Amino acid sequence: MKTRPFILIPLVTALVACGGGNDSPSTASNEGTVSVLITDNLTLDYAEVWVNVQSISATDASGQSVTLYQDAVGQTHNLSQLVNIGALVDAQSVTPGTYTTFDIVLANDIKLVNLAGDVINANFDQSGSPSFAMTVPGSLVIDANQTSTLALDFDLAQFTYDATTNTVAPVVVQKDATALNQTVVTTQGQVQAVNSGSQFVMTPATGGTDITVDLHATATVTDAATGTVGTDTAGQTPGSSVSVSGVYDATTLTITASGVQVDSNVISIRHEIEGLVISFDGSTLVMDVKEASFAPSTNNVSVDISNAVFSKGSLAMVAAGQKVEIKGLWDGSSFSAAVVEIEGAQRNTTESRNYDDEYAEVEGTINSVVGDEINLTVTKYEHVSGISLGDVLTINSANSWFKQGDSRCLAANAQIEVKGAFTTTSTLDASVIEFESDCGGYHSDSDDDHDDDDDGENDHRDDDHGNDHEEDDD
């Protein structure tokens, strides 16, 4: 069964009409805020679908139009990685009313990567124009002091590719947004105020509405100039340029951040890529890119990490099969890393602990959940020795970062992937928990990164850091 990708635009009206001691940003009375998100469901035809969104606007029945997002450079997204998840594009003020049409402008080029890894550089039309515009009919009522959400569904199952003309015909419709399980964000901007050691307010680089940023318990704050990795807002001041990654709440205009980078240079020169490590020679890794601030010219990208700062993990820990997030500079053919984060690894600021294994990946079935402790039966493991299929582990989820769901999805029989560090031979401190079974009707993106074998074999690596990893099928 094929599910569909969609752009989501939560329309959030003014949260606070007058003062009241709320630290959250607010808009003027009777105005609203449009949180522009792009989101995606699963396509089984292509491993990657890269598009660039340049503008989104909404028009009411009288013909009055409001701009929800506009940027000549645009934002690049791999639609196939946003499975029933929204990704924040922008947050802008909007006039309350009833909007009946939604206009989208995309870059005319679209990049498809088929399941064999072949890249197809296509266009939406043959006009020769750098942009492609389309109109989506619908109906959305925006009331003052209320929250509304607009979801624009990119129905990849109905996208058609014509090899003769090398063009793709897209299908986009309005969709009920309640099926979304999470809204993720990677955004750049400037610090407006520092409220506490764990909270600051930022204005997006696009000039949109201010957003409150709360640091998660596992968050890192990396100073790009000094390479210092911290855990709080120390060193941030109004006017600081920052890059923020995390989970977005359109109702409160708040990001719960997993990572913050304080940028020393103009923020527009910074790029970001996320993906799976295919190989690593000690200084340069080859990555199968899943998300990026640009559309890579090839399916795999070479990344020099020899001089990078590690916010989570270390150079010695890097191994094939890991998911990594990297910020740095892209020259059109290769990527030079400034900051590297190994998903699930411990923060470099974490105090010394007696870890049996400092990095491990375990998949399994939940038997029971009591408070923050998860009783888990192992069905697969990587980057760790000393455990076997069928072993029962205790997972400490007190400070976990959740993907493809949240703590409410922790229940008996749920399938999860856990990344973290073993504190004993049978207890794992979870840094990241990703849901692989259904928790609200979505498909986990981890299915794209792991073997789908029926033989139940594990991917056991007996070496200290996984340097002899087998490559995961992707």
Note the pLDDT tens digit of each residue in 380-424.
999 988 899 999 999 999 999 998 888 989 999 999 999 999 999
Beta bridge partners of 366: 376
Of residues 207 and 106, more confidence is placed in 106
Average pLDDT over residues 227-238: 90
What is the tens place of the pLDDT at every residue in 256-281?
A: 999 998 986 544 446 889 999 999 99
Question: CA angle 88-230-273, nearest 5°?
Answer: 40
Task: Indicate the pLDDT class of residue 36, thresholds 50, 70 and 90.
Answer: low
Matching fold, domains 187-267 and 357-448: yes
Residue 158, classed as helix, strand or coil, is helix
Phi, psi of 81 (to 5 degrees): -95, -10
Average pLDDT over residues 202-215: 90
- Whether pLDDT at 255 is above 90: yes
Q: Would you say 188 and 242 are in contact if contact means Cβ atoms under 8 Å apart?
A: yes
pLDDT at 180: 75
For CA atoms 119, 54, 247, 201, the dihedral sign is positive
β strands within 14-159, DSSP E = 32-40, 46-60, 65-78, 85-94, 97-107, 109-114, 119-123, 131-142, 147-154
CATH 2.40.50 for the 187-267 domain, yes or no = yes
pLDDT at 349: 66
**10 Å Cβ neighbour count for 342?**
24
pLDDT at 29: 55
Q: Where are the domains of the chain?
A: 7-180, 187-267, 270-342, 357-448
Average pLDDT over residues 63-75: 90
Q: Would you say 272 and 289 are in contact if contact means Cβ atoms under 8 Å apart?
A: no
CATH 3.40.50.150 for the 270-342 domain, yes or no = no
pLDDT at 82: 73
- Whether pLDDT at 152 is above 70: yes
Rounded CA-CA distance 177/140 in Å is 12
Homologous superfamily (CATH) for 357-448: Nucleic acid-binding proteins (2.40.50.140)
Separation in Å, CA 148 to CA 24, 89, 94, 113, 178: 18, 16, 11, 34, 11
Q: Would you say 88 and 35 are in contact if contact means Cβ atoms under 8 Å apart?
A: yes
pLDDT at 34: 66
Rounded CA-CA distance 229/221 in Å is 6
Secondary structure tally for the chain: helices H, strands E: 0, 31
Task: Indicate the pLDDT class of residue 464, thresholds 50, 70 and 90.
Answer: very low
- Whether pLDDT at 452 is above 90: no
Position 127: which residue type?
Answer: S
Q: Which residues contact 428 (CB under 8 A, 6 or more apart)?
A: 360, 362, 393, 394, 395, 396, 418, 420, 421, 422
What is the pTM for the complete model shown?
A: 0.78
- Whether pLDDT at 58 is above 50: yes
Rounded CA-CA distance 17/305 in Å is 48
Rounded CA-CA distance 418/393 in Å is 11
Q: Which residues contact 469 (CB under 8 A, 6 or more apart)?
A: 319, 320, 321, 382, 383, 459, 461
Separation in Å, CA 395 to CA 13, 246, 354, 421, 445: 40, 23, 16, 10, 22
Q: Would you say 33 and 12 are in contact if contact means Cβ atoms under 8 Å apart?
A: yes
Task: Indicate the pLDDT class of residue 211, thresholds 50, 70 and 90.
Answer: very high
Rounded CA-CA distance 422/430 in Å is 9
pLDDT at 357: 58
pLDDT at 427: 95
Nearest to 13 by CA among 247, 185, 187, 209: 209
Separation in Å, CA 171 to CA 38, 79, 155: 15, 13, 6
**10 Å Cβ neighbour count for 225?**
10
- Over pLDDT 70: what percentage of the chain? 80
Q: Would you say 282 and 304 are in contact if contact means Cβ atoms under 8 Å apart?
A: no
Cα first-last separation, the chain: 20
Average pLDDT over residues 295-316: 90
pLDDT at 30: 74
Q: Would you say 280 and 320 are in contact if contact means Cβ atoms under 8 Å apart?
A: yes
Q: Can you list the pairs that 453-460 forms with residues at least 24 positions away whose Cβ atoms lie under 8 Å?
A: 456/379, 456/389, 458/380, 458/381, 458/389, 459/321, 459/380, 459/381, 459/382, 460/381, 460/382, 460/385
Of residues 438 and 107, more confidence is placed in 107
- Burial track 344-381 (b if 16+ CB lie within 10 A, e otherwise): bbbbbebeeeebbbbbbbbbbbbeebeeeebbbebbbb
Q: Are strands 199-204 and 182-196 parallel, antiparallel or unpaired?
A: antiparallel
Phi, psi of 88 (to 5 degrees): -65, 130
Across 179-188, 245-254, 362-371, which has the greatest mean pLDDT? Answer: 362-371
Task: Indicate the pLDDT class of residue 371, thresholds 50, 70 and 90.
Answer: very high
Lowest mean pLDDT among 64-68, 155-159, 325-329: 155-159
Average pLDDT over residues 350-367: 74
Average pLDDT over residues 295-320: 91
Phi-psi sector, 331: left (phi>0), alpha (psi -120 to 50), beta: alpha
Q: Please state, rounded to an integer, the average pLDDT across all residues of the chain.
A: 81
- Burial track 102-134 (b if 16+ CB lie within 10 A, e otherwise): bbbbbbbbbbbbeeeeebeebbbeeeeeebbee
- Whether pLDDT at 465 is above 50: no
pLDDT at 7: 52
